[in-house]
Structure formats: C-alpha cells, structure tokens
Amino acid sequence: MGGDIILQADTRLTTLLDLRYRRVLRASSGEHGRGSDQYGRGGEPSIVRVPVGTQVFDGETDELIADLDAIGASFVVAKGGRGGRGNIHFKTSFDRAPTRAEKGEPGERRTLRLSLKLLADVGLLGYPNVGKSTYISSVSRARPKIADYPFTTLAPNLGVASLGEDRSFVIADIPGIIEGASEGAGLGLRFLKHIERTRVLFHLITLDPEPSREPAKDFDTLMEELRKFDADLASRPMLIGVSKIDLPEVREALPKIKRAMKKRGHKVVAFSSATNEGVQEALQELETLLRGEPQQD
C-alpha cells in the first residue's frame, strides 16, 4: 500500500515559501510482496509541514477542503494506493500454488491551492507610516523593517505582547491597506484576508505631513474598505490608537481627534513608541477587549 500525503500545521513555520519551490509532493510506494507468504511493507506517509492558518483548496473546483487553524492540525490531502493481493489470496483446495496475483491501485493525484491566513489575537490596521511596525517592535520581539516611506512593510509581522505571567497575546502588523484595497489597490487584497483571523482590531491613526490627509478621514476610508471586503470585519471589537504623540503637532491635535472618534463610538488611546509613553496602557486596553470586558471611558 502506498503512503498518504499529509499536511500538518507547525508553529515553527510562518510562510508557504518552501512549497513555492516544491511543486510536486510524493509519498513512497509500498513494497512488492515477499516470499514465505509475507506482505510487502506499506509506503511511509509523507508529512508536509505548513504554517498554522493554512487553508487547502481543491485546484480544480476551488472548494475549501481543509483549514489547518490549530497547532498540530493535520489532513490527508491524497491517500496512498491500495496494495494488490498476492497469490496466497487465490489459493484453493484445488489450486494450492496459484501463479496469479492482483495488481495494486495507484494513489490519489490531486492539484491543490494553499492559502495562508495568519492567526492573531490583535490585528494592527492603519495607513502606511502611522507607526504600526514601530509599535509592534516596541511591545514584542518582532523586528520588522522600519523606514519613513510608504509600504516599507511588504509582509505581515507577528509579535507576542506580554503584560506579565499568563498575560500575553499575538499581534499581527497588517500592511498595505489603503483606499481601494478591497479592489486590489496597493497591496490590499494580498493582506486583507489576514484580518479575518483576528479577534480585535487596533486601528492606528495620526497626523500626516500630506495636507490632504486627516486622521478621522483616514479612519473612515479604511473602515469602508473593511466593509467592502467583509461586512463582519467592521463590527469587530476595535480600539483606536493615536500614535506619535511625542510630536507637538500630534499632541496638540489629540483632543480634536478624540472628539471625532467618540462621535464614531470608539475609545481612543494615545501613545508614542519612540518614548514608550502610553504603550503599556494601550496593551491593557487591548487585553480588556480580548477578554470581552466592557471598556471604561
């Protein structure tokens, strides 16, 4: 009997890059039957490790056939072939030494499409350059690339934030979401799917050097993109963070920003990743949301 091909979720992997260069997956074949009425050894299964959060689609129908959304979750994507019966199975009282045998059947051949959706408790959302990467680097050991130009971050970054013993959660820095993202602008569709896995959204806004940009308008624009992509996303528990309050102009504008967000029904926390002011307070507010507790004004 041939070996099965099994996909298994592994926390040590964070991308599907290895499989980009391994386009064909094969398991070993079973052995032929042996003498002295012995069966041949079955083929060993091929266990292919993938990141937690990998979704498996049928390559022909595009049907979702497995969602490996838990550590150690596994799924047999192709079963090994059935071994044929040897001549002993055809032995009768009239024919004690049959010379015929049955051929085995080939294993399954399938075309699959794999898609990765990150699993995180909190998703960082916001226009480029609002400080998402700097924030995640200040509260975790994640070290994303940080620069002062848009789309510095080209891949999601995961970090584990801790508030003490048994008080930690995973934060994902989701890049590339701008106006038109739900229609493919920027890096939009490539990363919007990752937000679907997050329980709480941390939406960062701040003042931008561009005169046409305004924090409340940026917020409204990205919320509309979320609604277009998945209406459920816009109703997820959400905290608004005003970043870069170490800058005088941002601190001066803070009361106005808070009033605008209050009208939209959201609480605001202000922080500076550069000076660490308000960073821990923001984590505590996120923990409150993750526990499902009501926020205090």
Q: Are residues 182 and 39 in the same domain?
A: no
168 against 190, higher pLDDT: 168
Percentage of residues in the chain having pLDDT higher than 70 = 67
**pLDDT at position 204, please?**
93
pLDDT of residue 124: 87
CA angle 189, 194, 196 (to 5 degrees): 100
| Dihedral (Cα; 134, 135, 138, 141), 10-degree rounding | -90
At residue 214, the pLDDT reads 87
pLDDT confidence of residue 239? 94
Greater model confidence, 30 or 116: 116
C-alpha to C-alpha distances, 195 to 118, 166, 178, 185, nearest whole angstrom: 8, 25, 14, 17
Looking at the fold, whether 275 and 146 belong to one and the same domain comes out as yes
The answer to whether residue 269 sits within a structural domain is: yes
pLDDT at residue 26, as a whole number:
78
For position 29, which CATH number holds? Answer: 2.70.210.12
User: What's the rounded mean pLDDT across residues 91-105?
Assistant: 61
Paired tokens of 284: 């505590």
Q: Where is the domain boundary, 89, 116, 143? A: 116
44-62 tens-digit pLDDT: 788 888 887 788 888 889 8
Contacts of 170 (CB under 8 A, 6+ apart): 119, 120, 121, 122, 158, 159, 160, 161
Q: 66-79 burial string, b = 16+ CB within 10 Å, else e?
A: bebeeeebbbebbb
Give phi and psi for 83, each to the nearest 5. Answer: -75, 145
115 alpha-carbon distance from chain centroid: 9
Report helix, strand or coil for 128.
Answer: coil
The pLDDT tens digits of the residues spanning 70-84 come to 788 899 988 876 655
Segments forming the whole domain that contains residue 94: 5-116
Number of domains in the chain: 2
Residue 79 is classified by DSSP as: P
Residue 240 scores a pLDDT above 90: yes
296 domain-assigned: no
Question: 253 or 27, which is more confident?
Answer: 253
Is 167 contained in some domain?
A: yes
In this model, does residue 153 exceed pLDDT 50?
Answer: no
Average pLDDT taken over every residue of the chain: 77
Name the domain boundary from 90, 116, 142: 116
Q: What is the pLDDT of residue 164?
A: 78
Beta-bridge mates of residue 6: 47, 76
Q: Which two tokens stand for residue 276?
A: 């660490």
- Judged against a pLDDT cut of 60, whether residue 177 lies above it is answered with no
The predicted model gives 221-237 an average pLDDT of 84
Residues 73 and 175 both lie in one domain? no
Lowest mean pLDDT across 45-49, 183-187, 203-207: 183-187
Residues 44 and 133 occupy one common structural domain: no
